[in-house]
């Protein structure tokens, strides 16, 4: 989770939120949610995460997609354009999940 947050922050991802899913869902331990200001920045964020990850199970979404999902096993990363993030409101879908403080990781 820390690697994904740092990699996203390195590419100036905005509004990085980490949800602790361990007691909420069997899908993953953490969801990392971030925004890129454009589809190009979304792809740069995704590329940096996948380059730094020790293993990537799957990437869902095309290069020009407003939402790309990166499956890192116990961590699922969602990178959105601001419009797509506002439309899908994924944080609201999982509102029962505790939010992890990542302030120290994004500086």
Question: What pLDDT, in 10s, does the model give residues 54-75?
Answer: 999 999 998 889 999 999 999 9
Q: What percent of the chain has pLDDT over 70?
A: 99
Q: What tens digit of pLDDT does each residue of 13-29 get?
A: 999 999 999 999 889 99
Q: What is the mean pLDDT of the chain?
A: 94
Q: What is the pLDDT of residue 45?
A: 97
CA angle 27, 76, 18 (to 5 degrees): 105
């Amino acid at each position: 989770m820390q690697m994904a947050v740092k990699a996203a922050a390195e590419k100036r991802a905005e509004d990085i939120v980490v949800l602790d899913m361990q007691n909420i869902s069997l899908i993953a331990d953490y969801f990392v949610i971030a925004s890129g200001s454009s589809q190009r920045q979304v792809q740069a964020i995704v590329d940096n995460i996948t380059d730094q990850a020790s293993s990537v199970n799957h990437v869902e979404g095309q290069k020009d997609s407003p939402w790309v999902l990166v499956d890192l096993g116990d961590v699922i990363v969602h990178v959105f354009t601001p419009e797509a993030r506002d439309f899908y409101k994924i944080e609201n879908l999982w509102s029962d999940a505790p939010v992890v403080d990542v302030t120290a990781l994004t500086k």
